Structure 1
Amino acid sequence: MAKNKKTTIQDLANYANVSIGTIDRVIHNRGKVSEAKRKKVEEAIKKLGFNPNLLARTLALGQQFMVCSLLPEASSPDSYWTLPKKGIAQAVEGHRDFGMQLEVFEYSLFDETSFVKMADAIIEKNPSGVILAPLFEKESHNFIDKLEERDIPYVFIDANIADRKNLSYIGPHLKGSGFIAGKLLNSILGPSDDILIIHIVKGLENSAHTAIVEKGFKEFFQAMEGKVRGKISSITIPTTVESELNRELTKYYIKNPGVKGVFVSNSRAHLISRYHALHDLDIKVVGFDTVPGNLTELKKGHIDYIISQRPVFQGVTAVRVLFDFFVYKKLPESVQFVPLDIIIKENVDYYINFQYQ
């Protein structure tokens, strides 16, 4: 690789298969690094033509990069949203010596006004860049308008909004993830079994990404071309309070006893599977993401498949995109789909050990 190529520390980390923190410790000769890892990093620096002096000059100019993240609040330490936030925090820490700072803002998935309040607070900060999960579409458009007026670059994770000027979207192929969920659920159901899609969100009308996932799910069955399939219905439950959620499920199942398969369109499948187990219901479940509640229910056999969207990786990649843009003026790919991993009871431990090593 040419010596003048603008190699990043993330490139070094990828090449050497080590963390950004390890790269930082080797470059600055501090902290403990095994000899094997040090040799890998030194080889990467040589092979990729990395010039740390470029970053040193950036620091000498006193440049600071304030990144603001605006993601849903984590309802508990085991919530899905702790995972992309973990990735963002880790990546910013790895770039801290190069002038990057992070300020975290959170909004409630059940209160659009909280999104508006946090978005306005970010605008007042006038940050260098923003990482955004645009789950309230209307409010996100208004926020994005203000970012673009001020030439503040921004990156989407987890959900995308088309025809905006975001640097990149980093997340799942939404329709594809729904299609895969449909194929998985169909594989473990009888041909005439009814299916229920459950959205646990404030309102489907302002959650375009959720509607896209449902569309992908239904497209799988539409592609079956005449094969017998039971009824496919969907409901939206605007709460994560289990007593309220259970009440809604009870009312639905009393009226629809033919349901044998459920697809939960977000990371809260464990709430549904716990209800099934409590009432001794033999209903297959497919959901998203390796949050602790889902993993517990998967190991118990109450969830059949989990589709992982690599949320930690999404957060790390979003920071890398902004850093490369700040320092190198490097434009990323406009869409960066993450792999969709299929997790079952038999491979879950291997996957978790690999994902977080």
Structure 2
Amino acid sequence: MSKIKKTTIQDVAKYANVSSGTIDRVIHNRGKVSPAKKKKIEEAIKHLNFNPNLLARTLALGKQFMICSLLPESVISQNYWSLPRRGIMQSAEKYKDFGIVLEAYEYSLFDEESFVKQAQIIIDKNPDGVILAPLFEKESISFTQALEEKNIPYIFIDANIPDQNNLSYIGPELKNSGYIAGKLLNSILNMNDDILIVNMVKGIENSSHVWVIEDGFREFFDSNNYTNDRKINSLTIHTTDETEVTRELTKYYIKNPGVKGVFVTNSKAHLISEFHRAHELDGKVIGFDLIEENIASLKNGSIDFLISQNPVFQGGQAVQMLFDYFVYKKTPTEIQYVPLDIIIKENVDFYLNSQ
């Protein structure tokens, strides 16, 4: 931890062109200050993002806190992983004057070695805290064990690994998200329509979060006896490349022409909807997350439902929790499930405008 220069009362006084004593009187509401000066001081406090109480505490600590984030890479600005990253960066910016410094790292969802490499860089940085999306379970556990050896706290977002020592998990209740998807898809299918679950991951055996989502989806149908007259199969595609996805779907549909409903366990539902449109198929599709391509497919009717997992909130809340932990010694809630929002084409614009 290194020393940091923060906004002071003197900075506010200089900006408002008044004395420090006048600033102090306004902050503590004592003594007389003209309305004009009071207004100038309030404007200066707002402009400089000056928080007297919080600043006093962080000044007393006199330290800078480095947070490292490790998320899947976001190759374009509108894909899913750009959203929690946006939340992290916005929250870090909010607290930068109070000692928070962010360093963001990325790994490829289809390359475990990229995760290992980035994780080692973070370990060598010796940060004060880490925000992690642990989508490679084995590598994530090795990483967090190394963090624990150095007493570095960490928070999971988007996916959880049970029985770890993370400060908190912020994200969806994964099994419930799959269950909800099953209920939604069933509501728009006939009883004998076959269903396909599509997982796009490098290795399903090392992606326990996908298993949990799929298990929740299947549980809906099993618990309600909706499996008697239909097949529910899963297809794992080890890439999100559109050409490869199209090839795998084509092979599957040739052998399984009865598929009428598709559940995609990540944010790539638009790839399935585009396949349906290109081949004039009338299958129903449900997936996750309000990325640009999914929104377009929702609006043209080729995706029927999207489940939003509030990724921007997840990222922002993780920074907030670490800040409170560093400054106020406040222990975070062990699990903070985010609300799951059901988005259809009729409400998507209202939802987007409210964000």
TM-score range with shorter-chain normalisation?
0.7 to 0.9
Structure 2 residue matching 1:285: 3-state secondary structure: strand
Q: Residues 112-161 of structure 1, C-alpha deviation per residue, up to 9 Å, x if partnerless?
A: 00000000000000000000000000000000000001110100000001
Q: Residues 285-322 of structure 1, C-alpha deviation per residue, up to 9 Å, x if partnerless?
A: 00000000000000000000000000000001000100
Look up the match of 2:201.
Answer: 201
| Whole-angstrom distance in 2 between the partners of 1:27 and 1:235 | 58
Does residue 336 (structure 1) correspond to residue 352 (structure 2)? The answer is: no
Look up the match of 1:48.
Answer: none
Matched residue type, 2:45: N
Structure 1 residue matching 2:330: 3-state secondary structure: coil
**Once structures 1 and 2 are overlaid, which stretch shifts more, 239-248 or 336-345?**
239-248
Q: Residues 141-198 of structure 1, C-alpha deviation per residue, up to 9 Å, x if partnerless?
A: 0000000011101000000011111110000000000000000000000000000000
Look up the match of 2:10.
Answer: none
Look up the match of 2:116.
Answer: 116
**Once structures 1 and 2 are overlaid, which stretch shifts more, 219-228 or 175-184?**
219-228
- Report the CA distance between 1:59 and its aligned residue: 2.5
| Whole-angstrom distance in 2 between the partners of 1:212 and 1:95 | 35
Whether the aligned pair in 1 keeps the contact of 2:57 and 2:327 (CA below 8 Å) is: no
Whether the aligned pair in 1 keeps the contact of 2:191 and 2:226 (CA below 8 Å) is: no
Whether the aligned pair in 2 keeps the contact of 1:196 and 1:232 (CA below 8 Å) is: yes
- CA 1:26–1:231 in 2, change beyond 3 Å: closer, same or farther? farther
Look up the match of 1:29.
Answer: 45
Q: Map 1:208-357 onto structure 2 (within 5 A).
A: 208-225=208-225, 228-355=228-355
Structure 1 residue matching 2:263: 3-state secondary structure: strand
- Report the CA distance between 1:241 and its aligned residue: 1.2
- CA 1:115–1:26 in 2, change beyond 3 Å: closer, same or farther? farther
Does residue 138 (structure 1) correspond to residue 154 (structure 2)? The answer is: no
- CA 1:31–1:124 in 2, change beyond 3 Å: closer, same or farther? same
**Once structures 1 and 2 are overlaid, which stretch shifts more, 73-82 or 244-253?**
73-82
**Once structures 1 and 2 are overlaid, which stretch shifts more, 51-60 or 324-333?**
51-60
Tell me the TM-score normalized by structure 1.
0.85
Structure 1 residue matching 2:101: 3-state secondary structure: strand
- CA 1:61–1:302 in 2, change beyond 3 Å: closer, same or farther? same
- Report the CA distance between 1:63 and its aligned residue: 0.6
| Whole-angstrom distance in 1 between the partners of 2:226 and 2:218 | 14
Q: Map 1:30-69 onto structure 2 (within 5 A).
A: 30-31=46-47, 52-69=52-69
Matched residue type, 1:346: E
| Whole-angstrom distance in 1 between the partners of 2:244 and 2:228 | 34
Identity %: 64
Whether the aligned pair in 1 keeps the contact of 2:134 and 2:159 (CA below 8 Å) is: yes
- CA 1:26–1:193 in 2, change beyond 3 Å: closer, same or farther? farther
Structure 2 residue matching 1:234: 3-state secondary structure: strand
| Whole-angstrom distance in 2 between the partners of 1:55 and 1:74 | 34
- Report the CA distance between 1:54 and its aligned residue: 4.5
- CA 1:240–1:26 in 2, change beyond 3 Å: closer, same or farther? farther
Structure 1 spans left out of the alignment, 5+ residues: 1-24, 34-50
Matched residue type, 2:251: K
Structure 2 residue matching 1:74: 3-state secondary structure: coil
Whether the aligned pair in 1 keeps the contact of 2:156 and 2:169 (CA below 8 Å) is: yes
| Whole-angstrom distance in 2 between the partners of 1:222 and 1:165 | 33
Question: Cα RMSD over matched residues?
Answer: 1.8
- Report the CA distance between 1:57 and its aligned residue: 3.6
- Report the CA distance between 1:27 and its aligned residue: 9.0
- Report the CA distance between 1:227 and its aligned residue: 6.5
Which 4+ runs in 1 deviate beyond 6 A?
Answer: none
- Report the CA distance between 1:52 and its aligned residue: 3.1
Task: Report the structure number with the largest CA radius of gyration.
Answer: 2
Structure 2 residue matching 1:78: 3-state secondary structure: coil
- CA 1:321–1:27 in 2, change beyond 3 Å: closer, same or farther? farther
Structure 1 residue matching 2:79: 3-state secondary structure: coil
Look up the match of 1:106.
Answer: 106
| Whole-angstrom distance in 1 between the partners of 2:327 and 2:48 | 28
Look up the match of 2:165.
Answer: 165
Aligned length: 315
| Whole-angstrom distance in 2 between the partners of 1:229 and 1:78 | 39
- CA 1:100–1:180 in 2, change beyond 3 Å: closer, same or farther? same
Tell me the TM-score normalized by structure 2.
0.86
Structure 2 spans left out of the alignment, 5+ residues: 1-40
Structure 1 residue matching 2:47: 3-state secondary structure: coil
Whether the aligned pair in 2 keeps the contact of 1:59 and 1:99 (CA below 8 Å) is: no
- Report the CA distance between 1:30 and its aligned residue: 3.9
